[in-house]
Structure 1
Amino acid sequence: MRIIFAGTPEPAACALTALLASNHDVIAVITRPDARKGRGRTYYPSPVKELATSHDIPVLTPTSLRDNDEFRSELRRLKPDCVPVVAYGNLIPQDVLNLVPCGFINLHFSLLPRWRGAAPVQAAIHAGDAVTGATTFRIDPGLDTGDIIGQLTEPIDPADTADSLLERLAHRGANLLTRTMDMIADGTAEYRPQDGVATHAHKITVADARVDWTQPAESIDRAIRAVTSSPGAWSTIGEQRIKLGPVTHTTDPHMRPGDIHVAKNRILVGTGTTPVSLGRVQPSGKKPMPAADWARGTMIEGKRFE
Structure 2
Amino acid sequence: MLRVLFAGTPEVAVPSLRTLAKDTEHFEVVAVLTRPDAPTGRGRRLMASPVKMAALELGLPVMECDPNEEVFLSALKATGAEAAAIVAYGRILKEPVLEALPMGWYNLHFSLLPQWRGAAPVQRAIWAGESVTGASVFRVTKGMDEGPVLAQSTVEIGAHENAGELLDRLAEDGAHLLAASLEGMAEGQITPVEQPAGAFEVAAKISHDDAHMRFDVPVFALDRQIRACTPLPGAWCDLHVQGDALAPTTLHVTKASPASAELRESVEVPEGLKPGELHITKHHVWVGTSTEALELQLVKAQGKKEMGAAEWARGAHLGAGAFLD
Task: Give the alignment's TM-score, normalised by structure 2.
Answer: 0.91
Preserved CA contact (<8 Å) 2:255 2:299: no
Matches within 5 A, 1:171-190: 171-190=172-191
Residue equivalent to 2:158: 157
Residue equivalent to 1:282: 300
Tell me, yes or no, if structure 1 residue 222 matches structure 2 residue 224.
yes
Q: Distance in 2 between the 1:108 and 1:296 partners?
A: 43
Preserved CA contact (<8 Å) 1:261 1:302: no
Per-residue Cα deviation, 1:45-76 (whole angstroms, up to 9, x for no partner): 111100111122111112x322x011111012
Q: Distance in 1 between the 2:282 and 2:56 partners?
A: 52
Tell me, yes or no, if structure 1 residue 262 matches structure 2 residue 263.
no
Residue equivalent to 2:57: 54
Count of aligned pairs: 304
Tell me, yes or no, if structure 1 residue 299 matches structure 2 residue 317.
yes
Per-residue Cα deviation, 1:77-96 (whole angstroms, up to 9, x for no partner): 22311000000000100110
Tell me, yes or no, if structure 1 residue 42 matches structure 2 residue 60.
no
Among all aligned residue pairs of Structure 1 and Structure 2, give the percentage whose two residues are the same amino acid.
40
Determine helix, strand or coil for the equivalent of 2:324.
coil
Preserved CA contact (<8 Å) 2:95 2:142: yes
Residue equivalent to 1:28: 31
Preserved CA contact (<8 Å) 1:113 1:197: no
What amino acid sits opposite 1:79 in the alignment? Answer: G
Determine helix, strand or coil for the equivalent of 1:71.
helix
Tell me by how many angstroms 1:197 deviates: 4.5
Q: Distance in 2 between the 1:293 and 1:38 partners?
A: 27
Determine helix, strand or coil for the equivalent of 2:215.
coil
Moved more, 126-135 or 185-194: 185-194
Residue equivalent to 1:133: 134
Residue equivalent to 1:15: 16
Q: Distance in 1 between the 2:205 and 2:166 partners?
A: 17
Preserved CA contact (<8 Å) 1:209 1:234: yes
Q: What residue ranges of structure 1 are gaps of 5+ in the alignment?
A: none
Tell me by how many angstroms 1:148 deviates: 0.3
Q: Distance in 2 between the 1:70 and 1:252 partners?
A: 64
Tell me, yes or no, if structure 1 residue 245 matches structure 2 residue 254.
yes
Tell me by how many angstroms 1:221 deviates: 0.4
Q: What residue ranges of structure 2 are gaps of 5+ in the alignment?
A: 241-247, 260-268
Q: Distance in 2 between the 1:254 and 1:36 partners?
A: 47
Give the ranges of 4+ consecutive aligned residues of structure 1 lying more than 3 Å apart after TM superposition. none
Q: Distance in 2 between the 1:289 and 1:39 partners?
A: 21
Residue equivalent to 1:122: 123
Preserved CA contact (<8 Å) 2:160 2:257: no
Cα root mean square deviation, aligned: 1.1
Q: Distance in 1 between the 2:126 and 2:317 partners?
A: 33
Preserved CA contact (<8 Å) 1:246 1:278: yes
Determine helix, strand or coil for the equivalent of 1:279.
strand
Per-residue Cα deviation, 1:190-242 (whole angstroms, up to 9, x for no partner): 11111265210011111111101101100000110111111111001142000
Tell me by how many angstroms 1:188 deviates: 1.1
Residue equivalent to 2:77: 76
Per-residue Cα deviation, 1:149-174 (whole angstroms, up to 9, x for no partner): 00000000101111111111000000
1:198 corresponds to which of 197, 200, 211: 200
Task: Give the alignment's TM-score, normalised by structure 1.
Answer: 0.97
Preserved CA contact (<8 Å) 1:13 1:47: yes
Tell me by how many angstroms 1:264 deviates: 3.6
Q: Distance in 1 between the 2:303 and 2:134 partners?
A: 37
Determine helix, strand or coil for the equivalent of 1:187.
coil
